[in-house]
Structure 1
């Protein structure tokens, strides 16, 4: 079984990812990237 990744957020967008998770609008996994752009 493979996870479904809905969106990859940068570390700076971590609060946006958390908000999407808390509101129940995430259908797949949300990833927070720690890499520098």
Structure 2
């Protein structure tokens, strides 16, 4: 159904925006994101 297609599109879009929070080591303080990754 079209409703299912809309729902799955919204779901897939949302999964691409997930964020996770973790406490990182103090080693990363002041480090640019590119360097930390």
TM-score, length-scaled by structure 2: 0.32
The structure with more strand, counted as a fraction of residues:
1
The structure with more helix, counted as a fraction of residues:
2
Higher relative contact order (CA 8 A, sep 6+): 1
Greater Cα radius of gyration, structure 1 or 2: 2
TM-score, length-scaled by structure 1: 0.32
